[in-house]
A = this chain, B = another copy of it.
Amino acid sequence: MSVIDKDNLTGYKEKSAELLRKQHVAVGDTITIKTSENEFTGILMPRYESADKNHIVIKLRSGYNIGIGTEKVRSIAKLTDPTREVPDAPATKIMTFVDSFKQVSKEFKINQSINQNDRSKEHPKIALLGTGGTIASKVDYRTGGVSAALSASEIYASVPELENYASIEPEVLLNEYSENLKPADWTIITDKIKEKITLGKYQGIIVSHGTDTMHYTAAALSFALQNLPIPVVLVGAQRSSDRPSSDAALNLIGATIFAVKSELTGVFVSMHATTSDDVIACHLGTRVRKNHTSRRDAFESIVGVPIALIRGEVLEMQLEQTGLKLKKRNNNTNGLVVRPDFDRRAVLLKYYPGFNPEFISHAVAAGYKAIILEGTGLGHVSKDCFPQIRNAVESGTLIFMTSQCIWGRTRMTVYETGRDLLDIGVIPLSDMMAETATVKAMWALANSKDAKSATKLMQENIANEISMSIPI
């Protein structure tokens, strides 16, 4: 039983707090704010402790949040009595999105039901696996920051538009910020996706995920789950759902549209394509990178363009422009190949001037079986590293070369340094991204009987991670 705190104005200060207090409004109340130009109705959201004091944030019925400058506010009116009971919700002072959704539905008589049985008759089924991250986060009142907390069903409830596209069956699998996820978690996610696919009733799988390492997980799933009959779409948010202009809802809608409508299968990442709320991009799991710390369009396809764009409800496929080949979705759940294991004895070392080659020797001594060098330019490191690399190769450690340039590809035959490294036994990885190469090496080590077969796996194009048609 949850009761809204009548005096709760968490995060509001000075002018904004004053305006709200005057109308006896508290966080969780449904209010109408009029400005000289517009009228907004929605639920008053809590704010960060450190948020600016000149905005009032309400959650609109669309699921979006909007921040209204206090100087623009002409009037604030509370629509209903904020004191009410929400059955079956845990006792908490924080109003969850399930609460908000139920409240909005009830008060505005929206003809939307969160009863999944009703939806399942009409729409394709999607499994939504929650793993944590900003997309599943809310304000932490202790610190004023954001922490992972919302369940997958809460996410679902907070984005009622999803009902238009799919019947979503959520399940909380993990609840971690993605920087804390480990290769063992990739195995857990792989196994759960396998379980869901084997049921044979889903049109696609969506994995909600923290953005920090979402591209690493996307690469991991691309190798661990081969011959996928249906698409697996990872989705995150750069701004938590309770912040103004959160990207959570639209990213999830984009992921759902792709998961339902795409004719192609594989592992993808669905995020904003631009900083405005108009286009979502679907990137290939092995060719995507988080290239901005905070922008909503932080994720970029490293191979040309994204696989698809979603504008409104329209899915625009761009596969041909990428030059890549993907399989079509099918009903053959038996064809699914699952190789969920990862061996952590692969290490990524980024080269820079002054890099001490002793780190290579240390990795060998520490028992690492593969070293992924993030070299400069076309795939170089200083000749000072040659003796340590030679020793590593002779001891049976695999040395793979990628480039820290991010775009382009290693080409180790052009310069002396590259040719010398090839002679020593360094294995070039063409245009495989350093991040993808590191994940793949962990996977290849766990799925090979010896170094030779691991090398073969690394050089083989399994999930469009490497363009073998272009000379190494």
Contact = CB atoms under 8 A, between A and B. Distances in A.
Interface of A: 50, 134, 140, 143, 145-147, 177-183, 185-186, 211-213, 216-217, 290-295, 298, 342, 344, 346-356, 358-359, 362, 366, 374-384, 403, 405-411, 413-419, 435, 438-439, 442
Given A352-B438, A356-B347, A382-B182, A377 B143 contact: no
B353 A211 contact: no
Given A358-B366, A362-B362, A384-B180, A411 B293 contact: yes
A217 B50 CA distance: 39
A413 B417 CA distance: 43
A432 to B, nearest CB: 12
Given A147-B415, A212-B376, A415-B177, A405 B291 contact: yes
B293 A378 contact: yes
Which of A374, A375, A407 has most B Cβ within 10 Å? Answer: A407
Given A143-B416, A293-B377, 7 more contacts: A145-B413, A145-B419, A179-B380, A294-B378, A346-B354, A352-B439, A358-B366
B180 A408 contact: no
A230 to B, nearest CB: 25
A416 B240 CA distance: 13
Which of A416, A438, A439, A442 has most B Cβ within 10 Å? Answer: A416
B352 A212 contact: no
Copies of this chain, whole number: 2
A417 B352 contact: no
Given A180-B417, A419-B145, A356 B344 contact: yes
A435 B216 contact: no
Nearest to A441: B354
19 contacts: A50-B413, A134-B415, A145-B415, A145-B416, A147-B416, A177-B416, A181-B382, A182-B353, A183-B353, A211-B377, A216-B352, A216-B353, A290-B376, A293-B379, A293-B407, A298-B408, A347-B359, A348-B352, A354-B442
